[in-house]
């Protein structure tokens, strides 16, 4: 038995630039996930730093902030059975070179830095990330 969960996903700036918003979202929907919130935004560097605050000590934190604020992104909340792990499976490994064939990152991403898509990695992350972008009124659960 799996629980109904919500998870936060982002089509990152390289995904928007490469015109694969529809491809990414289509994969989530075909897998049975429901989009319950979605918008396009352009984060500042400090917005991106706040979103990725868990990585503040990592060597790539500065570049990650720069990349995530380099252009608009599409942020969405996905709902469904086991949504957190399912979304991660559809995304593939962080490094596209190690991602399983048929995953978003294997098919579309160019590098471990610029890897097209984000998905919450745990219930705790989702609980931080969803309200980072969406108020309760912007989430349209079924
Ligand atoms: N990242 C990076 N270099 C690394 C690891 C990660 O630039 O060595 C970036 C990449 O965009 C990744 C994000 O930082 O998606 C967050 O890293 P995390 O380990 O949380 O990977 P994810 O959860 O996105 O698979
Ligand atoms: Mg992560």
Enumerate residues lining ligand 1, CB below 6 A. Answer: 60, 64, 94, 112-113, 115, 118, 121
Residues carrying an active site annotation: 118
**The pTM is what?**
0.98
Atom number of ligand 1 nearest to Cα 121: 23
Atom number of ligand 1 nearest to Cα 67: 11
Host H or E run for residue 24: helix 21-30
How many whole angstroms from 61 Cα to the centroid of ligand 1?
A: 9
Q: Report d(CA 40, CA 75) in Å as an integer.
A: 6
- pLDDT digits 0-9 by tens, 64-119: 999 999 999 999 999 999 999 999 999 999 999 999 999 999 999 999 999 999 99
Say how many Å lie between the first and final Cα of the chain, rounded: 19
Domains and CATH numbers, the chain: 4-138 (3.30.70.141)
- pLDDT digits 0-9 by tens, 23-57: 999 999 999 999 999 999 999 999 999 999 999 99
How many whole angstroms from 142 Cα to the centroid of ligand 1?
A: 31
How many whole angstroms from 94 Cα to the centroid of ligand 1?
A: 6
- pLDDT digits 0-9 by tens, 1-16: 579 999 999 999 999 9
**Six token digits for residue 138:** 């912007």
What angle in degrees, to the nearest 10, is found between the helix axes of 21-30 and 83-91? 130
């Amino acid at each position: 038995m799996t629980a109904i969960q919500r998870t936060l996903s982002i089509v990152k700036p390289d995904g928007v630039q490469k015109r694969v918003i529809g491809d990414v979202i289509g994969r989530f929907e075909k897998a049975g996930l429901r989009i319950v919130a979605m918008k396009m935004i352009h984060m500042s560097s400090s917005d991106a730093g706040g979103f990725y605050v868990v990585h503040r000590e990592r060597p790539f934190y500065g570049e990650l902030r720069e990349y995530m604020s380099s252009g608009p992104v599409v942020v969405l909340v996905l709902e469904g059975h086991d949504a957190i792990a399912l979304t991660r499976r559809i995304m593939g490994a962080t490094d596209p070179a190690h991602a399983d064939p048929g995953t978003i990152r294997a098919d579309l991403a160019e590098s471990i830095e610029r890897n097209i898509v984000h998905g919450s990695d745990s219930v705790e992350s989702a609980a931080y990330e969803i309200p980072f972008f969406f108020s309760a009124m912007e989430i349209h659960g079924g």
